[in-house]
Amino acid sequence: MNRMKGKVVIITGAAQGIGAVYAKAIAAEGAHVVVADVLDGSSVVAEIEASGAQALTITTDVSDERSAAAMATAAVERFGRIDVLINNAAIYASLKMQSFEEIDLDEWDKVMAVNVRGPFVCARAVAPHMRAQKYGRIINISSGTPFKGTPNLLHYVTSKGAILSLTRALARELGDHGIAVNTLAPGLVLSEGVVANAEMRERLTAPVIASRAIKRDQMPEDLIGPLLFLASDESAFMTGETVVVDGGSVMH
């Protein structure tokens, strides 16, 4: 229960959903957690602190460079360092499934700003702190969809495909500084947002489960073990990789 003892971990998009599950699981392993979200993360922080761990919430727009910089500064001011960044914030469950010809360009730009520019901007905000200590872990969250070419969500699938390339290139740039960069790629997870999106559940759940070797719904808790592996020193000699966790729908 102490794999992350004393580590300082920033998790974007952690005020609710899968991000909140990540935050509580990381805290339970001894880490100090920064909940960075455009939404209010105080309830997640209160729950973490009630368990005896330390946490901080900061309002963060991951697509904004100044906001990301303020996030990193707040983490260092409170906890003295940054060891892990989990780039979880993304636009997904609120999207309407539709043909690529029907996607509004403003929506396309918004998805790219959060899902692609966000991890880039946040990585750039924490990298100087990680370089200075010659240690760091950056975990980007992609998806199984780029491996499948899932239709009717072209902007989302494209954004998550970009994360695979971002991870590989960033791993090359940061490896000499003791910083590992990897990707966690979940399948269709029954997060709060997905459960609330009836259309998405109706159109995707049955075919996704049918494609899996382990034929059941995926829950947020299924991601905790792989996430802790990537965030801890257990994966110290691993970088530039993508770990797909989806019950065997994608095998690569």
List, by residue number, the catalytic residues.
Answer: 156
Tokens for 109, please give them.
């730009």
4 three-state secondary structure:
coil
**Which residues share a beta bridge with 242?**
183
Contact indicator for 22, 14 with CB cutoff of 8 Å: yes
Tokens for 83, please give them.
């060891």
Three-class SS of 76-131: HHHHCCCCEEEECCCCCCCCCCCCHHHCCHHHHHHHHHHHHHHHHHHHHHHHHHHH
Residue 233 CB: number of other CB atoms within 10 A? Answer: 13
AA letter at 148: K
Handedness of CA 226, 231, 236, 238 (dihedral sign): positive
